[in-house]
Amino acid sequence: MPIHLYWGDDEAARNRAVEALIEQVTDPAWQSINLTRLDGTDPAQAAQALEEARTAPFGGGDRVVLLQRSPFCHQCPAELAERLEASLELVPEGCHLLLVSPNKPDARLRTTKALQKLVKGGQATEHSFSLPAVWDGAGQVELVARTARELGLALEPAAAEALAEAIGSDSARLASELEKLALYVGATATPGERPSGPAITAAAVAALVGSHATNALQVGDALLAGRPAEAIALVEALLTANEPALRIVATLTGQIRGWLWVSLLDRQGEQDVAAIAKAAGIGNPKRIYVMRKQIRGRSPGRFLALLGQLLEVEAALKRGSEAGDAFRDGFLLGGLGGESAPQGAWGSQ
């Protein structure tokens, strides 16, 4: 199968799969000739990838042409699309064209349709590497378990849950922590092989990884409860862990906007959770039940005020303010307006 399509926002897992394929099919002695790494943001390099993919390998092993940030299933110029279609049937055996992108292929494009046709015919492979949503606890546990399997490590179920709570969807940090835990318990990370050696335990996670990490949704919960000082402390923990400030704002905005939609539709008497989820842009309708409990007794004005505060934070960040100062000023000095928080929660902290 000479053509491979890798996509998804789990960059760490994508990179592991890329390197595993390279290690599997190439001869290390001939890699300098048979391995080409290119960047698809440059149209000239994307075109070069198609040319090199039509060249048979030299010496031992197969040839791999790796195109990161591939444009072929996204905003692909017509000339490049034509070159791809002309090249698909000309990739020789022993040559692997590896197209990698963080985004899901656009199914409407003719280039995507051409590649999907090859996938269905067994002439190409497609692998997705998607991170679970920040609220998807089960998905995060599965991410931990899957990463451990990929690294060839045995993991107790309780350890998987503890790691999911501590790390969330940070796939790169997860792999790093698993490798440290393997050394701690005396196991060996053997990617691509069946787990062997002692299993990683919850006690090992508690000892090495430490206390549970913060995620942006916890910040939103603190704001909803009228505890700005706690929200600021949680944000500082996220910033210390190198979480981008604007990503925190984006996550909080999505969380609060979801609450606002649920609140508004509940007031209109809407009972269909699927309809509410669709209107709020929430993929899993089961979340609506949880959100209803969270926002019980709070008016839409509260959520509009919180969104206003986040807008102030975002504006301050984009004006160049220090991230910590922007969040502190937005959460403490922005004021709520609309429905007020519990007495003293915002003014006396």
Q: Please check whether residue 121 is in contact with residue 28, taking contact to mean a CB–CB distance below 8 angstroms.
A: no
3-state SS class at 35: strand
- Distance, CA of 45 to CA of 71 (rounded, Å): 11
Q: How many whole angstroms from its chain centre is CA 144?
A: 13
The ranges of the chain with pLDDT < 50 are 211-212, 335-349
- Distance, CA of 308 to CA of 312 (rounded, Å): 6
| pLDDT tens track for 246-281 | 988 988 888 888 889 888 888 888 888 888 888 777
- Strands across the sheet containing 35-39: 35-39, 63-68, 95-101, 3-7, 124-128
Helix axes 78-87, 43-52, angle to 10 degrees: 10
Torsion of CA 37, 43, 47, 49, to 10 degrees: 10
Nearest to 185 by CA among 196, 175, 194: 196
Phi/psi of residue 173, nearest 5 degrees: -65, -35
Domain boundaries, the chain: 3-128, 137-208, 216-333
User: What is the torsional sign of CA 200, 204, 208, 210?
Assistant: positive
Report pLDDT for 99.
96
- Distance, CA of 272 to CA of 280 (rounded, Å): 12
Q: Please check whether residue 81 is in contact with residue 111, taking contact to mean a CB–CB distance below 8 angstroms.
A: yes
- CATH fold of 137-208 reads Helicase, Ruva Protein; domain 3 (1.10.8)
Using alpha carbons, list the distances in angstroms from residue 337 to 169, 230, 296, 302, 346.
34, 20, 19, 7, 11
For the chain, how many helices (H) and strands (E)? 16, 5
Q: What CATH architecture does domain 3-128 belong to?
A: 3-Layer(aba) Sandwich (3.40)
Residue with tokens 């299993």: 199
Q: Does the structural domain 216-333 have CATH classification 1.20.272.10?
A: yes
Is the pTM for the entire model greater than 0.75? Answer: no
